Amino acid sequence: MGRPGTGAYFRDIEKVAMALAKLKPHFEKENPVTQLMVTPETGKIKDEVLNEKGPLGIIEIKTTLERIPEFLHTLEKIQKEVDTASALVSHQMLPDGTIPHEEWVRRAGYKLSSMGKQYWVGRPLFQED
């Protein structure tokens, strides 16, 4: 969430984390945002940092392929309540160059960006052809 020049407040990061937490993903324990959570089960961020702003806030989760549409739709809904841009990035690519989640992204009504393993659910600054 956020990007250099716009940033993201932790109150917005919390909204997204709490929406995702309802879907019961695995939040990466070593992630700085996860470490600021009161508990990953709720996604609640510590009150003392909610008004802080940083250049980026990365929420790192794991889920199964078949749950990708549910997560994407949840992210699209909550994005309307936050005041920053968001992008999703997947780090899973098979050795042959295929992306195992691409079909599930397409089923949810989205497409992967031609820039790599990234797709937008927020407000991109440009439209791809």
Q: What is the pLDDT of residues 96-126, one digit of tens each?
A: 877 778 888 888 888 776 555 444 444 444 4
Q: Which of 56, 47, 50 is nearest to 86 (CA)?
A: 56
Q: In the prediction, which pLDDT does 38 show? A: 97
* Residue-averaged pLDDT of the chain: 83
**What's the whole-model pTM score?**
0.81
Residue 122: how many other CB atoms lie within 10 Å = 17
Residue with tokens 């990365």: 58
Percent of the chain's residues with pLDDT above 90: 43
- Structure-token pair, residue 20: 């995702």
Q: What is the pLDDT of residues 13-47, one digit of tens each?
A: 999 999 999 999 999 999 999 999 999 999 999 99
Residue with tokens 């549910």: 70
